[in-house]
C-alpha cells in the first residue's frame, strides 16, 4: 500500500487538465493513453506500471479518434486514474487496467457534458459579434479550455483525494474470482480495439497485407518496427503505382476511414450516445 | 507545382498577421468546440488578426465578416490550416465580396479534408505509432512513446508551413493536391493494415491453461492450439469481436463490456488465465 502526496495528486490533476486540451489542438499526443500512462507513471514514481496500464488501454482504442466530434472512451483519464490506483493499492498492472477501463467508459458522459457546456461560449460569441466586441469573441473562443480541462481534472482529483481509503476498503473485500477475471480481461480486451479498428479500415481491400503483417510477426518474429518498415515499403510501391496509373484519378476522399460504419458502431454517438 | 502566384494584386496583410492567425488556429482550434457550431469559435478567434487588419476601420463590415467566420465549421484540426490559408487569400483579394466564395471554400472543403485528416493524422498515424509504442510499453520500455510524440512534434512543426503554403497557392491548390492526397491516404491505410496484422500475435497474449484428461492421457490445450497455428486464440477472438460488432444493437461499448464479462467467466472456468 503506497501513499500519494498532495503534490502528486495535484500534478496528476493538472496533467489531466493539460492532456485533453493538448490533444484537441496541437495534438502531439500527451492524451494518447500510452503516453498519459507514461507520464502518470513518472508522477507516481512507477514508470513501468504507467506504461503497461496505458499500453493496454491504448490498444483498446488504437486508431480511433474523436472524428467529427464523436465522444470516445477516455482511456487517457482511465490510464491516469488506473495507474494511480494501482500504485496506491500495490496490486499491480492488471488491477490498474481493471480500474482504467470502467473509468474510461464512464468518462464519455463527462466528455459530452464538456462539449455541451461549450455551447454557452458559442452563444456568447454570437452576442459579442452583435456588439462588435472582437476582444470578447477571442476570449470566448479560448474559455472552452476550462470545461474540457475540468471534465478530466476534477474526476482525477476527487478519486485520488477520497479514493485512497475507499480503495483500501474495497481491496479487503475484492474476491479472487474478480481480480483474476480482470487480469484475464486485460489479455483479451486488446482484441476489441483491434476489431473496432478493422471495421474502420478498408480491411477487405487490403486483406493481403494483414496476412503479410501477421506472418512477419507470428512466424518470422520480426519486431513491430520491422513489420512497420516492410509496410512502408509496400505503401511506397502502392503509391507509385497509383500516381503512375494515368487517367483514373481517385477523388479526394481516398479510401480511408469508414466513418459511417464507425457511427453505426457507436464510436461516439454525439448527444444521444447510448453508453450504459 | 510551378504556377505560383507570386505577384499579388493586393497585399494588405502583414507577415505578422498571417503568423498570428496560423499560430492561433493550431493552438486553439477546438478549445471551444461545441455541439452547435463545433469548431466555429476557434475559427473566428483565429481569423481575428486578419479581420482586424482588413475591416478594422469599418464596423459594419467587421460585424458581417465575424458573423460569417462564426458559422458552423468542423474539420480535422491540422487540415483546417489549409482551408484557413485559402480563405485568407480570398479575403485579402476580394474582401467582403468574397463572402460567398469563403463560405463555399469552408463548407466545401471541410468534409473532404476531415476525411483525409482523420484517416492520415487520426487513424493511420496512431495505428502505426500506437502499435509500436504499446508493444514497447508492455515490455516496460518508453522509447516507443517518445518516438511517437517526437514524430508528431516533427510533423506538426512542419504543419506550421501548411497555412502559409495554402495562402500562397490559393484555391488552385485544391485541384493539384486532390489526387496526391487520395493516393497518399490509400497507401498509408495499406501500411496501417499491415501493422494490424502484426499487432494481433504480438499484443494479445491469451494464456489457455486448460488441460484435457482422457484416461491416462493428459493434453494441454495451449500446446495443441500452438501446433495448429501460432496465436490461433487471438485470431479467433478478434474475428469473433469483428463479427459481434456487426450484430444488431451492438456497439463498441457493449462489445467491451461483453468481452470483459466473458473474460471473468472464462477465467473462473479455468479456460483462460
Answer whether B156's CB lies under 8 Å from B26's CB: yes
C-alpha to C-alpha distances, B85 to A7, B27, B162, B174, B184, nearest whole angstrom: 43, 16, 8, 12, 21
H/E element, B26: helix B15-28
φ/ψ (deg, to 5) at B217: -85, 125
| Side-chain-side CA neighbours of residue A8 (13 Å) | 21
Answer whether B110's CB lies under 8 Å from A53's CB: no
User: Would you say residue A58 has pLDDT above 80?
Assistant: yes
**Residue A148: its pLDDT value, please?**
96
- Check if A220 contacts B (Cβ < 8 Å): no
User: Is the alpha carbon torsion for B139, B142, B148, B151 positive or negative?
Assistant: negative
Averaged pLDDT for residues A45-51: 96
User: Is the alpha carbon torsion for A212, A213, A214, A215 positive or negative?
Assistant: positive
The alpha carbon of residue B10 is apart from the nearest alpha carbon of chain A, in Å, by 25
Q: Pick from A264, A266, A234, A197: which is nearest to B204 by CA?
A: A197
φ/ψ (deg, to 5) at B44: -65, -35
Per DSSP, the three-state class of B193 is: helix
User: Would you say residue A163 has pLDDT above 90?
Assistant: no
From CA A138, how far away is CA A88, in angstroms rounded? 42
Look-up of cell digits 512507477: A46
DSSP code at position B38: B
From CA A67, how far away is CA A49, in angstroms rounded? 30
**Residue B118: its pLDDT value, please?**
85
ipTM computed for the complex = 0.81
Highest mean pLDDT among A55-69, A122-136, B212-226: A122-136
A226, three cell numbers: 520491422
Look-up of cell digits 484537441: A24
Q: How confident is the model at residue A203 (pLDDT cuts 50, 70, 90)?
A: confident
For the segment B88-106, what is each residue's pLDDT rounded down to a tens digit?
999 998 888 888 889 888 9
- Check if B260 contacts A (Cβ < 8 Å): yes
Across the interface, of A187, A256, A270, the residue whose CB is closest to B185 is A256
Look-up of cell digits 505577384: B7
**Residue B5: its pLDDT value, please?**
47
From CA A215, how far away is CA A236, in angstroms rounded? 20
Please report residues of A whose CB lies closer than 8 A to that of B26. 25-26
Interface of A with B in 184-203 (CB under 8 A): 184-185, 187-192, 194-203
**Residue A259: its pLDDT value, please?**
55
Q: How confident is the model at residue A268 (pLDDT cuts 50, 70, 90)?
A: very low
**Residue A271: its pLDDT value, please?**
37
For the segment A84-97, what is each residue's pLDDT rounded down to a tens digit?
999 988 888 888 98
**Residue B212: its pLDDT value, please?**
79
**Residue A270: its pLDDT value, please?**
39
**Residue A257: its pLDDT value, please?**
57
Interface contact flag, B34 A122, Cβ < 8 Å:
yes
Averaged pLDDT for residues A111-136: 93
User: Would you say residue A140 has pLDDT above 90?
Assistant: yes
Q: How confident is the model at residue A167 (pLDDT cuts 50, 70, 90)?
A: low
Per DSSP, the three-state class of A242 is: helix
B236, three cell numbers: 479467433
User: Would you say residue A43 has pLDDT above 60?
Assistant: yes
DSSP code at position A272: S
Which residues, at least 6 apart from A207, have a Cβ–Cβ distance to it below 8 Å?
A: none
User: Would you say residue A249 has pLDDT above 80?
Assistant: no
Look-up of cell digits 495451449: B222
From CA A272, how far away is CA A112, in angstroms rounded? 9
User: Would you say residue A177 has pLDDT above 90?
Assistant: no
A6 or A180, higher pLDDT: A6
Look-up of cell digits 510499453: B137
Burial (CB count within 10 angstroms: exposed 0-12, middle 13-18, buried 19+), residue B197: buried
Look-up of cell digits 510477426: A217
Residue of A nearest to B45 (CA): A138
From CA A140, how far away is CA B42, in angstroms rounded? 9
A73: left (phi over 0), alpha (psi -120 to 50) or beta: beta
Please report residues of B whose CB lies closer than 8 A to that of A134. 48, 51-52, 62, 66
Interface of B with A in 106-125 (CB under 8 A): 112, 114-116, 118-124
For the segment A218-232, what is each residue's pLDDT rounded down to a tens digit?
999 998 889 989 999
**Residue A261: its pLDDT value, please?**
57
pLDDT under 50 in chain B at which residues? 1-6
Answer whether A81's CB lies under 8 Å from A100's CB: yes
Beta B211-214 vs B217-220: how paired, if at all? antiparallel
Answer whether A47's CB lies under 8 Å from A7's CB: no
A-B contacts (CB, under 8 Å): 447
Answer whether A60's CB lies under 8 Å from A192's CB: yes
Calculated CA dihedral for residues B64, B75, A61, B260, nearest 10 degrees = 60
Across the interface, of A51, A101, A200, the residue whose CB is closest to B260 is A101
**Residue B140: its pLDDT value, please?**
93
Please report residues of A whose CB lies closer than 8 A to that of B177. 252
- Hey, of A83, A227, A246, which one would you mutate to test binding to chain B, going by the most B CBs within 10 A of its CB? A227
Q: How far apart are the first and last CA of chain B?
A: 59
Amino acid at each position: 500500500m503506497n501513499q500519494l502526496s498532495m503534490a502528486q495528486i495535484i500534478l496528476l490533476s493538472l496533467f489531466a487538465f493539460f492532456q485533453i486540451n493538448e490533444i484537441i489542438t496541437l495534438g502531439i499526443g500527451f492524451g494518447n493513453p500510452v503516453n498519459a500512462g507514461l507520464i502518470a507513471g513518472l508522477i507516481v514514481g512507477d514508470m513501468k506500471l504507467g506504461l503497461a496500464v496505458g499500453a493496454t488501454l491504448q490498444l483498446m482504442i488504437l486508431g480511433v479518434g474523436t472524428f467529427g466530434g464523436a465522444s470516445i472512451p477516455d482511456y487517457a483519464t482511465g490510464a491516469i486514474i488506473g495507474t494511480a490506483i494501482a500504485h496506491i493499492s500495490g496490486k499491480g498492472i492488471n488491477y490498474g487496467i481493471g480500474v482504467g477501463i470502467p473509468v474510461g467508459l464512464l468518462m464519455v458522459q463527462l466528455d459530452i457534458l464538456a462539449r455541451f457546456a461549450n455551447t454557452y461560449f458559442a452563444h456568447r460569441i454570437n452576442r459579442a459579434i452583435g456588439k462588435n466586441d472582437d476582444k470578447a469573441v477571442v476570449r470566448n473562443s479560448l474559455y472552452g479550455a476550462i470545461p474540457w480541462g475540468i471534465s478530466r481534472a476534477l474526476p482525477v482529483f476527487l478519486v485520488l483525494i477520497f479514493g485512497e481509503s475507499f480503495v483500501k476498503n474495497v481491496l479487503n473485500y475484492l474476491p479472487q474470482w474478480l481480480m483474476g477475471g480482470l487480469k484475464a480481461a486485460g489479455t483479451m480486451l486488446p482484441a476489441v480495439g483491434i476489431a473496432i479498428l478493422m471495421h474502420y479500415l478498408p480491411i477487405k481491400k487490403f486483406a493481403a497485407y494483414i496476412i503479410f503483417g501477421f506472418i512477419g510477426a507470428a512466424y518470422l518474429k520480426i519486431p513491430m518496427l520491422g513489420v512497420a518498415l516492410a509496410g512502408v515499403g509496400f505503401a511506397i510501391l502502392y503509391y507509385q503505382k497509383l500516381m503512375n496509373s494515368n487517367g483514373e484519378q481517385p477523388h479526394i476522399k481516398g479510401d480511408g476511414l469508414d466513418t459511417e460504419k464507425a457511427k453505426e458502431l457507436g464510436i461516439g454517438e454525439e448527444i444521444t450516445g447510448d453508453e450504459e | 507545382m510551378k504556377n505560383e502566384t507570386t505577384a499579388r494584386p493586393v497585399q494588405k496583410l502583414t507577415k505578422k498577421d498571417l503568423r498570428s492567425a496560423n499560430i492561433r488556429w493550431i493552438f486553439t482550434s477546438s478549445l471551444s468546440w461545441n455541439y452547435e457550431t463545433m469548431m466555429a469559435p476557434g475559427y473566428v478567434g483565429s481569423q481575428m488578426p486578419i479581420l482586424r487588419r482588413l475591416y478594422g476601420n469599418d464596423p459594419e463590415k467587421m460585424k458581417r465578416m465575424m458573423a460569417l467566420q462564426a458559422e458552423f465549421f468542423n474539420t480535422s484540426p491540422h487540415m483546417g490550416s489549409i482551408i484557413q490559408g485559402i480563405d485568407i487569400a480570398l479575403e485579402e483579394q476580394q474582401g467582403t465580396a468574397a463572402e460567398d466564395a469563403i463560405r463555399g471554400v469552408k463548407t466545401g472543403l471541410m468534409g473532404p479534408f476531415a476525411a483525409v485528416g482523420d484517416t492520415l493524422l487520426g487513424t493511420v498515424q496512431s495505428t502505426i505509432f500506437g502499435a509500436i509504442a504499446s508493444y514497447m510499453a508492455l515490455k516496460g520500455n518508453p522509447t516507443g512513446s517518445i518516438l511517437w510524440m517526437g514524430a508528431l512534434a516533427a510533423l506538426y512543426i512542419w504543419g506550421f508551413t501548411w497555412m502559409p503554403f495554402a495562402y500562397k497557392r490559393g484555391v488552385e491548390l485544391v485541384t493539384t493536391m486532390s489526387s496526391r492526397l487520395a493516393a497518399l491516404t490509400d497507401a498509408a491505410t495499406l501500411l496501417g493494415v499491415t501493422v494490424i496484422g502484426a499487432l494481433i500475435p504480438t499484443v494479445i497474449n491469451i494464456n489457455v491453461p486448460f488441460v484435457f484428461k482422457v484416461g491416462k492421457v493428459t493434453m494441454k490445450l495451449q500446446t495443441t492450439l500452438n501446433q495448429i497455428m501460432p496465436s490461433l486464440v487471438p485470431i479467433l477472438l478478434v474475428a469473433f469481436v469483428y463479427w459481434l460488432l456487426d450484430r444488431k444493437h451492438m456497439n463498441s461499448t457493449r462489445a467491451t463490456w461483453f468481452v470483459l464479462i466473458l473474460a471473468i467467466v472464462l477465467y473462473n472456468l479455468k479456460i483462460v488465465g
